Amino acid sequence: MEGSQWIPTVCYQCKGECAIIARVENGVLKEVRGNPKARGKACVKGMAGVSLEYSPDRLRYPLKRVGKRGEGRFERISWDEAMSIMEKKLRDLRDRGDAHKLTANFFPHSITDPKWRFLNAYGGFINTALPHCDSAKIVGFIRTMGGVPNHHIPPAWFTVPKGGIMILSGRRPFGGLEDAAVPRDILEARERGAKLVVLDPMFTPEAAKADWWIPIRPSGDTAFFLGMIHHLIMNDLHDADFVKKWVRDGDFEKLKRYIADKTPEKMGEICDVPAETIKKLAEACAAAPSVGVDSFKGVMLGNAMDFAHAWTIFLCITGNIDNPGGQPLPDLIPLSPVSPGPAGPDLHELGWHRTGPDRDKFAKYSFIMEPTWYEAQAIKNGGLKILITAESNPALTEMGQNEWQKAVCMTDEKGEYMLELLVSFEIMMSETARYADLVLPDKSYFERWELLYMPWWYNFGHGLALRQPVVEAPGECRHSNIVMIELGKKLFPEYFQFEDDIAYYDIQLKGLGLSVKRLQEIGGLWSPGTLGFRKYQKTGGFGTPSKKLHLYWEDLEAPPWNQALPRPDLAQEYTDNAKSYPFFLVSYRIIYHSGAGQWTHNNPQLRDRVSGFYENPLMINSRVAGEMGLADGDRVTIESPGGSIQVRLKLTEGIRPDCLGLAHGFGSTIGRVATVGEGVASNILIPDSGSTLEWQDVVGGESHVSTRVSIVK
Ligand code: SF4
């Protein structure tokens, strides 16, 4: 890598995975920008990837725990020793007939990820980092529209026509990015005459740019949408032709009966929005050429399953499915199979979350569960014996972190750890790695190969992108994919007959007339060039059994849901303890620390006092603070039924009086920069997480915004 050159690759400072170009001079990474041949944008976090790459905290050698779990005492070992420890433990577990007691906690960048293959071959399971906020919505979309897990496909904002309506419901694409190009797309759509509507308890950067900000009560989103659905149906403002043609017979009639008493007035009381506002937006949507709704992350409103249901019903009855400006559906391009392929567990039988242990109990849940919660439960139940984490930090960044920490340290009557092996692949020491038996130095996203195929994702939806090494990795770093391929070759060679990751990707690319080399030659990006609208017309319908849209979810008729159409009520946690804990805690994301946990925490560019985000003060409405005798900068204790933390106050007009806002993802305890910066972890406040989450399990794992809190000076 002599001289200076720009090399196309893919960012991974967050899960948006934007196409970027990296400037490399004499083998040193100097600069990152958005790839002009793709969507052309990189955010502040993406550009700060240079600091991450050269962090003094990078792990360089495999480490083995020598103290107790959590003590953080390790010794350097060789890769050979690390591999043989893993191989032996994995063989033992499988030979005992307990292969399903292996779980991997990682964010699968793509279905091309070889770690999937390993887990399928072994019979283990995956916990992804997805569940916090969108799993119920993923499953909701599958129920209504069928097909592959759509994951989160936001509206293609660049296709919104003049007069189209863009609704961001608890979604903060400007401040909690998953695609650096989305803010531009939304603002350009506005410039050509589309309207932006923001439902959010806080006055966010999106609200500042919106035509209409509706400061909704947290968790009121389902009621808000049901109020609009009532108004549309009762006034014949819905798209009757679309409904007649594409909604399953009988579903609309059931919905009409159900919605009859969900008036905007009643729903307005639940979501604390005037009925006139609900009606006005419903009428505007009925008259608009398109309506797109995005939720998913950002402020993460509660009752996810019900909201997913109300959201999809709204899109269906307004005909905004797979149209310009509406809800896109994925357009899959076929990758070639790598034969023979391991079958993997049956998702329908075992639950969407691929739960191994406790399957009788957990399989009834219809969406992916909170990984930290699930892992803590499974360890305690003796159902999780080997846990492998990669680029995830359940000991800090997910609710239930305390229970997780306790669970991984639990011992049986012989004094042995109930979790027999904990392996952490990371690029720098993390809270999770500190508990691990083996800490394995991973390659950063600037040092490794990956074929990214994400038909449901933002940037290269409908295409492929190549992540390629732009610089050498330090020390003895190895990419986790290579490690899992090597283990696969030892444990079940029949499924790992290819040489390495590149050979694996080449097989997958073959049917498209591509290879890794060819992809490299053409700039690392490939797309069939079609976004495609109303594909269901050409394919004879949707992916549901009836080929029509399913508004009525009969599989939820049975307990514990007892509800085949969406409930409008607030999450139960909002009404419990309301007197003792008068505020709703809004746990929100910010661009500096969204999506990459330790990597962004420990990045000097992102924790800078002036240009970065140094701490996470508690946002409180100025009037309310005044009434309570609190001033800007005061230190207060936030208490919830689950715990308490101390934090500094920040007064603002931009939050509902009944809410407190706390940026999520802070509280790191490891790393040279992370420990210098201030900040607190909001997870500690989440009640019950890691022990019981019965109601949240039913409505969709959204405890982050179902937390009632109080504050005292
Ligand atoms: S949005 Fe995420 S993937 Fe895109 S440039 Fe920013 S950090 Fe990187």
CA of 49 to the centre of ligand 1 (A): 9
**649 and 608 within one domain:** yes
Mean pLDDT of 614-621: 92
Atom of ligand 1 lying closest to residue 10 CA = 3
Pick the residue whose CA is nearest to atom 8 on ligand 1.
46
Q: What is the pLDDT of residues 362-408, one digit of tens each?
A: 544 444 556 777 788 889 888 889 999 998 888 887 777 888 899 99
Contacts of residue 309, Cβ cutoff 8 Å, sequence gap at least 6: 140, 143, 144, 222, 553, 565, 566
- Residue 598 belongs to some domain of the structure: yes
**287 and 436 within one domain:** no
**What does the block give as tokens for 530?**
């079609």
Report the pLDDT value the prediction gives residue 529, as an integer from 0 to 100. Answer: 67
Pick the residue whose CA is nearest to atom 2 on ligand 1.
14
CA of 167 to the centre of ligand 1 (A): 22
Please report, for the domain that includes residue 119, its CATH number.
3.40.50.740
**396 and 497 within one domain:** yes
> Would you say the CB of residue 49 lies under 6 angstroms from ligand 1?
no
Please report, for the domain that includes residue 233, its CATH number.
3.40.228.10
Lowest mean pLDDT among 320-324, 377-381, 574-578: 574-578
Pocket test for ligand 1, best of 14, 32, 107, 444 (most atoms within 8 A of CB): 14
Q: What is the pLDDT of residues 234-268, one digit of tens each?
A: 999 999 999 999 999 999 999 999 999 999 999 99
**647 and 667 within one domain:** yes
pLDDT: which is higher, 220 or 459: 220
Phi-psi region of 59 (alpha: psi -120 to 50; beta: other; left: phi over 0): beta
DSSP string of 413-480, one letter each residue: TTS-BSS-EEEEEESB--HHHHH-SEEEEPPPTTS--EEEE-TTSSTTTTSEEEE---SPPSTT---H
**What does the block give as tokens for 388?**
């492998």
**698 and 580 within one domain:** yes
**392 and 249 within one domain:** no
Residues in the chain: 713
Domain boundaries, position 493 = 82-132+334-445+485-512
- Residue 61 belongs to some domain of the structure: no
Q: Please tell me the distance from the alpha carbon of residue 50 to that of residue 28, in angstroms, as a whole number.
A: 10
Q: Please tell me the distance from the alpha carbon of residue 129 to that of residue 103, in angstroms, as a whole number.
A: 13
Helix-, strand-, coil-residue percentages of the chain, each rounded to 5 = 35, 20, 50
- Residue 36 belongs to some domain of the structure: no
**What does the block give as tokens for 74?**
């390790």
pLDDT: which is higher, 629 or 663: 629
With CA atoms as reference, report the closest residue to 347 among 144, 106, 109, 128. 128
- Residue 676 belongs to some domain of the structure: yes
**258 and 187 within one domain:** yes
> For residue 286, which amino acid is it?
A
Report the pLDDT value the prediction gives residue 463, as an integer from 0 to 100. Answer: 79
Q: Are 442 and 390 in contact (CB under 8 A)?
A: yes
Q: Which helix or strand (DSSP H or E) is residue 6 part of?
A: strand 4-10
Pick the residue whose CA is nearest to atom 3 on ligand 1.
17
Percent pLDDT > 90 in the chain is: 57
DSSP H stretches of helix in 247-370: 251-259, 264-271, 275-287, 304-317, 347-350, 359-362
Mean pLDDT of 175-197: 90
Q: What is the pLDDT of residues 661-697, one digit of tens each?
A: 998 878 888 888 888 777 888 877 876 554 555 555 5
Residue 230 phi, psi dihedral angles, 5° rounding: -55, -50
Average pLDDT over the chain, rounded to whole?
A: 87
- Residue 580 belongs to some domain of the structure: yes
* CB-count burial class (<10 Å; 0-12, 13-18, 19+) for 287: exposed
Report the pLDDT value the prediction gives residue 350, as an integer from 0 to 100. Answer: 47
Q: What is the pLDDT of residues 45-89, one digit of tens each?
A: 999 999 999 999 999 999 999 999 999 999 999 999 999 999 999
Report the pLDDT value the prediction gives residue 366, as an integer from 0 to 100. Answer: 46
**346 and 223 within one domain:** no
- Residue 629 belongs to some domain of the structure: yes
What 3-state DSSP class applies to 74? strand
273 pLDDT tier (thresholds 50, 70, 90): very high
DSSP state of 49: H
pLDDT: which is higher, 400 or 40: 40
- Residue 477 belongs to some domain of the structure: no
CA dist list (Å): 77 to 65, 266, 436, 482, 531? 10, 64, 14, 18, 49
**703 and 688 within one domain:** yes
How many domains does the chain fold into?
Answer: 3
Q: What is the pLDDT of residues 461-480, one digit of tens each?
A: 557 889 999 999 999 999 99
Please report, for the domain that includes residue 659, its CATH number.
2.40.40.20
**What does the block give as tokens for 65?**
């725990």
**What does the block give as tokens for 565?**
């159409």
- Residue 60 belongs to some domain of the structure: no
Report the pLDDT value the prediction gives residue 296, as an integer from 0 to 100. Answer: 67
**342 and 292 within one domain:** no
**491 and 366 within one domain:** yes
Q: At which of 523, 556, 589 does a domain end? A: 556
Mean pLDDT of 197-204: 94
CA of 115 to the centre of ligand 1 (A): 23
**248 and 173 within one domain:** yes
Contacts of residue 44, Cβ cutoff 8 Å, sequence gap at least 6: 591, 592, 605, 606
